[in-house]
Amino acid sequence: MLEIAEFGHILAPQRYDAQLPKLRARLLAAHFALRARKFPVIVIVSGADGAGKGELVQRLNEWLDPRGVETHAFWEPSDEERERPEYWRFWRAMPGRGRIGIFFGSWYSTPIIRRVFGKIKAGKFDAALDRIAGFEKMLTDDGALLVKLWLHLPKKQQKKRLKKLEADGRIAPGDWKHFKLYEEFTAVSDRALRRTDHASAPWHVIEATDRRYREITAAEILTTAIQKKLDDTAPQPAVTTAIRPAASVTKKLKGDRSASILAHVDLTQKLPEAEYSRQLAAQQTKLSKLAWAAHDAGRSMVLMFEGWDAAGKGSAIRRVTQAIDPRLYQVVGVAAPTDEERAQHYLWRFWRRLPRAGHTTIFDRSWYGRVLVERVEGFAVPADWGRAYAEINDFEEQLADHGTVLCKFWVHLSPAEQLRRFRERQHVAYKQYKITDEDWRNREKWPDYQRAVDEMVSRCSTEFAPWTLIAGNDKKFARVQILKTIVQRLDAAL
């Protein structure tokens, strides 16, 4: 793709001066219009050393409204960044809807540099590019506008630029070293561009020899892209649009409940009191030690609890937290998102709570809300929850790649047992706050939820992040099972 950008484009000063005011006015107008339309714009500025990326970023900042734009450079990661999966630093830099984020360097930098210097092989490089393509698709599917600019310099021009930078004392260490690898850089970058050039997130290669040409071209691309998106009459992803799942879905399931994955959970399993006390204590002691061992080893852990209402998630979490030093864990109760969270992709609120090295985050309900309650209640349109499976799998793979120990629990129970517990809650004074009308409504949708759970478990039970189905009719049995699973997984990881 890069060879096309060696035409020798130059923009004469008079033409630059003539074009600029109108272009700036259009760009600024688009930026203001963006606020009301509530989608984020992510501008990636990449390209060759000495191609003027810094100057371009500075110019864009000058032309945009400073209060609506933020620039992020990704230098050496901080220790807080190193302790999380690689993409954490990009997630934390994401602009909210209505804002522009300029990414000076991005998720492309590390794979390209590692590939050029032979630190990763072709296969791993391609895998990294596929992850990028998936990540970008996820962003654009969610409504984000991604504008990817690549500033290309022909070899002779780069040499000239580096000499000039050197004369000005502004050359970066490593620039000449990179120059010697010009061909490798070009080949690797070219592959990166081709493999991540999709209709929803296309690359724009800009010949960077002439400052005026590259600035006007970049601003023109950005302006046009924002305007096009603003004019786009396609509906924005409507998180709150109530589209009901097709009735047939429900019917089909009702007739064939035995087909459910959950039917394979043996709900008759029980643990007598004495045995429970003994096993609980034993597992908690193990977990307590393992949690400190994980801390010392810098391994982090994510525990995630989903399940039917009244399945005993809360009391199971308590048995887990009893065993872990409170300095080592945080419990995140997933309720309505805050407005900062609503301004971002739905996974953002989970990314932001990922634990530091050696720590644990416990999610009471989770990112699976997208394919459970949001699906069943029609809060997410089918296109949204439909693609969530792949997004979630990628998210969890990143956790696994980072070495985070991830346990995902679905606490199952029978409709009859749920009914018994609902009634108990209604009749015991200090449990009344735990039962609401919503619980009864959800209960009526059992078949819909069951279908959603089936699909979720089958599509998101991966080798790196398997689902664990817990038999919850007997709370004691469930708690010990959960503890045993965590202990086992943690022990295997350390």
The contact set with a copy of itself (CB under 8 A) reads 25, 28-29, 32, 54, 57-58, 61-62, 66-71, 73, 75, 78-80, 102, 104, 314, 317-318, 321-322, 325-327, 330-333, 338-340, 356, 362, 364, 430, 433
Taking the complex as a whole, how short is the minimal distance between the CB of residue 336 and a copy of itself, in angstroms?
10
Taking the complex as a whole, how short is the minimal distance between the CB of residue 318 and a copy of itself, in angstroms?
7
Helix 122-141 / helix 382-402 crossing angle, nearest 10 deg: 140
When the beta carbons of 95 and 143 are compared against a copy of itself, the nearer one is: 95
- Structure-token pair, residue 448: 């819909």
Taking the complex as a whole, how short is the minimal distance between the CB of residue 356 and a copy of itself, in angstroms?
8
Contact predicate 302/360, CB 8 Å = yes
Q: Which residues 6+ apart lie within 8 Å of 177 measured at CB?
A: none
Distance CA 155, CA 160 (A): 9
When the beta carbons of 26 and 420 are compared against a copy of itself, the nearer one is: 26
**Is residue 46 classed as helix, strand or coil in its secondary structure?**
strand
Q: Which residues 6+ apart lie within 8 Å of 373 measured at CB?
A: 379
Beta strands in 308-449 (DSSP E): 329-333, 360-364, 405-412
When the beta carbons of 167 and 433 are compared against a copy of itself, the nearer one is: 433
Taking the complex as a whole, how short is the minimal distance between the CB of residue 402 and a copy of itself, in angstroms?
17
Exposed / middle / buried, residue 9 (Cβ in 10 Å: 0-12, 13-18, 19+) = middle
When the beta carbons of 10 and 73 are compared against a copy of itself, the nearer one is: 73
Q: Which residues 6+ apart lie within 8 Å of 6 measured at CB?
A: 152, 154, 207
Taking the complex as a whole, how short is the minimal distance between the CB of residue 214 and a copy of itself, in angstroms?
16
Taking the complex as a whole, how short is the minimal distance between the CB of residue 125 and a copy of itself, in angstroms?
27
Give the CB-side neighbour count of residue 7, counting CA atoms within 13 A.
11
Distance CA 489, CA 257 (A): 31
When the beta carbons of 4 and 167 are compared against a copy of itself, the nearer one is: 167
Residue type at position 409: F
Contact predicate 431/424, CB 8 Å = yes
**Is residue 245 classed as helix, strand or coil in its secondary structure?**
coil
Taking the complex as a whole, how short is the minimal distance between the CB of residue 291 and a copy of itself, in angstroms?
12
- Structure-token pair, residue 336: 């309505």
When the beta carbons of 279 and 344 are compared against a copy of itself, the nearer one is: 344
When the beta carbons of 340 and 401 are compared against a copy of itself, the nearer one is: 340
CB-CB neighbours of 38 under 10 Å: 14
Exposed / middle / buried, residue 335 (Cβ in 10 Å: 0-12, 13-18, 19+) = exposed
Contact predicate 379/373, CB 8 Å = yes
Distance CA 225, CA 94 (A): 19
Distance CA 252, CA 27 (A): 52
Taking the complex as a whole, how short is the minimal distance between the CB of residue 327 and a copy of itself, in angstroms?
4
Taking the complex as a whole, how short is the minimal distance between the CB of residue 380 and a copy of itself, in angstroms?
22
Contact predicate 271/480, CB 8 Å = yes
When the beta carbons of 333 and 386 are compared against a copy of itself, the nearer one is: 333
Taking the complex as a whole, how short is the minimal distance between the CB of residue 436 and a copy of itself, in angstroms?
14
When the beta carbons of 457 and 482 are compared against a copy of itself, the nearer one is: 482
The helix (run of H) or strand (run of E) holding residue 71 is: strand 69-73
- Structure-token pair, residue 337: 């998102």
- Structure-token pair, residue 106: 């991005």
- Say how many Å lie between the first and final Cα of the chain, rounded: 45
Taking the complex as a whole, how short is the minimal distance between the CB of residue 176 and a copy of itself, in angstroms?
21
Taking the complex as a whole, how short is the minimal distance between the CB of residue 486 and a copy of itself, in angstroms?
16
When the beta carbons of 35 and 177 are compared against a copy of itself, the nearer one is: 35
Taking the complex as a whole, how short is the minimal distance between the CB of residue 172 and a copy of itself, in angstroms?
12
When the beta carbons of 38 and 356 are compared against a copy of itself, the nearer one is: 356
Distance CA 94, CA 81 (A): 15
When the beta carbons of 105 and 378 are compared against a copy of itself, the nearer one is: 105
Nearest alpha-carbon partner for 139 in 339, 435, 346: 346
**Is residue 304 classed as helix, strand or coil in its secondary structure?**
strand
When the beta carbons of 105 and 466 are compared against a copy of itself, the nearer one is: 105
